[in-house]
Amino acid sequence: MTSRKYKSYTLRNYKKIKQLTVISEEDYKAIEVVGNVLPFKTNNYVIEELIDWDNYRNDPIFHLTFPQREMLKEEHYKTVENALQDGLSGDDLFKICNNIRVELNPHPAGQQCLNVPMYKNERMNGVQHKYRETVLFFPTSGQTCHAYCTFCFRWPQFVGDKRLKFAGKESRDLAHYLIEHQEVTDLLFTGGDPMTMNYKVFRKYLDPILKVIDKTNIQTIRIGTKSLSFWPYRFTSADDAQDMLGLFKTIVNKGLNLAIMAHFNHPVELSTTVVKDAIKNIIATGAQIRTQSPIFKHINDDPDVWAEMWRKQVNLNCIPYYMFMARDTGAKDYFELPIVQAYDIFREAYSKVSGICRTVRGPSMSCTPGKIMISGIAELNGEKVFALRFIQGRNPDWVAMPFFAKYDEEASWMSDLKPAFSDKFFFEDQMEEIYNQKYSDCEEDKFE
Ligand SMILES: *Cc1c(COP(=O)(O)O)cnc(C)c1O
Ligand code: SF4
């Protein structure tokens, strides 16, 4: 098989997009203006095989990877537009754009402080441990993606401010941490996209952990990736595809569960021959593929899209896992749906598919106390309420406990919700305690 050459398009060479596509003057301009604030990157596979240019204004993948004018507030857009017109560049331009970024809540849900574990009295950068069973690892070399999603809450990692990065230097410390923390059963490689690393680099991160795996209690290794959507050749014709697939087999043969946590936002991402081949190759190694996606305006705010996506995934032997609510960060206003609408879309899509597809959980909000799922809208004692439950909790005792919030048509995140039948949510006092004990130096919002 000849391998397809990867060509990325960023602010550095975005001018080529004009020659390659039928993009309008206005949309073309938005790339430069918005792209200086929110990171922009797309590639030849996305442009040639996923976006339908005949109808690109309404195309979900166009909105997924191309900056849109409305992603910035009008005043912000104007500020950057003027700065560019005045010929600003380098540090001057960076400063202006960074001031805007800071206003866009770059670190939602206590990521930078509350979740970072300690090892030998030092904060372990590049590692997050929020839920008892699962440790997240952000290898430094995986802090990029084959293209960037315009909605991504990890966006501060991709723009040029080093302080905002979770730099994960070595996995040796992590290996020790996992030995000391026998409660941890799952290790999740995340990013960015760890599958942007080549085989050799990925092994550098994985080997120290595999070496001590018998001394840890790790049973599942998860790899969070959007490569199946943005560059499926990673698992078919890439130079090191066979090596990577061989490594998957090795992991499985050690008796571990290998779960590829694949990020798909729309059924079109499952439609090409190469993605189908890539999925087959991964499953043939004995790994599982579980799927997840946020729900967004302009991309997938339609029950038929979700029902089709889940059904297609199951037909390809993937397991639907999560539907997420849009995080409170970046271009959230452009993408966010009220809880009521997201729940309606979920329920309608869920009711259209068979039980085999109903492994999916959601819609779920990843907020500081935990992953909170909207399980329904109900009327109790004559009061309309949201029924909620924790899928994951910072305190494991909170998991699967039903609780209620006042119905609110406008609410789009946990922080908008007020408790029903009580003046506090049941976990608020304990959350306050956790926060005060360990994290009083954090500036992050406790209940975000
Ligand atoms: C979602 C998530 C996990 C994994 O939760 P599961 O329910 O086991 O899939 C782990 N850590 C963090 C910080 C998460 O957001
Ligand atoms: S692939 Fe994932 S980490 Fe990368 S930009 Fe998209 S959502 Fe963010």
Out of 392, 394, 398, mutate this one to test ligand 1's pocket (max ligand atoms within 8 Å of CB): namely 392
In angstroms and rounded to an integer, the radius of gyration of the C-alpha atoms of the chain is 22
pLDDT tens digits, one per residue of 31-50: 999 999 998 999 999 999 99
pLDDT for the residue 366: 92
DSSP string, 364-414: EEEETTEEEEEEEEEEETTEEEEEEEEEEESSGGGBT-EEEEE--SS--SG
Rounded distance from Cα 191 to ligand 2 centre (Å):
8
For residue 421, give Cα distances in angstroms to 135, 327, 376, 388, 393: 35, 27, 16, 14, 22
Which amino acid, one-letter code, is at 46?
Answer: V
Residue 154 CB less than 6 A away from ligand 2: yes
Out of 107, 128, 131, mutate this one to test ligand 1's pocket (max ligand atoms within 8 Å of CB): namely 131
Q: Are 383 and 420 in contact (CB under 8 A)?
A: yes
Q: What is the mean pLDDT of residues 198-216?
A: 94
pLDDT tens digits, one per residue of 57-101: 999 999 999 999 999 999 999 999 999 999 998 999 999 999 998
- Is the pTM value of this prediction over 0.85? yes
Q: How many Å apart are CA 182 and CA 186, to the nearest integer?
A: 10
Pick the ligand that lies closest to the CA of residue 154: 2
Residue 193 CB less than 6 A away from ligand 2: yes
Q: How many Å apart are CA 72 and CA 37, to the nearest integer?
A: 9
pLDDT tens digits, one per residue of 432-445: 998 887 666 565 55
Rounded distance from Cα 149 to ligand 2 centre (Å):
5
Pick the ligand that lies closest to the CA of residue 231: 2
Nearest CA to ligand 1 atom 13: 130
Q: How many Å apart are CA 18 and CA 191, to the nearest integer?
A: 30
Q: In ligand 2, which atom is closest to the CA atom of 229?
A: 1
Nearest CA to ligand 2 atom 3: 192
Ranges assigned E (strand) in 97-139: 118-119, 122-123, 127-131, 134-137
Ordered domains of the chain (ranges, CATH):
8-104 (no CATH), 118-352 (3.20.20.70), 367-448 (no CATH)
Q: How many Å apart are CA 140 and CA 163, to the nearest integer?
A: 13
Q: Among 70, 88, 85, 82, which Cα is nearest to 30's?
A: 70
Structural element, H or E, at residue 322: strand 319-324
Q: Are 136 and 188 in contact (CB under 8 A)?
A: yes
pLDDT tens digits, one per residue of 278-312: 999 999 999 999 999 999 999 999 999 999 999 99
Instruction: Name residues whose C-beta falls within 8 Å of residue 293's C-beta, 6 or more positions apart in sequence.
Output: 263, 264, 265, 300, 309, 322, 323, 324
* CA terminus-to-terminus distance, the chain: 49
Ranges assigned E (strand) in 44-124: 118-119, 122-123
Out of 226, 292, 300, 329, mutate this one to test ligand 2's pocket (max ligand atoms within 8 Å of CB): namely 226
Rounded distance from Cα 392 to ligand 1 centre (Å):
7
Residue 404's Cβ-side half-sphere holds a number of Cα atoms within 13 Å equal to 14
Mean pLDDT for the chain? 92
Rounded distance from Cα 120 to ligand 2 centre (Å):
32
Ranges assigned E (strand) in 150-268: 186-189, 220-225, 257-263
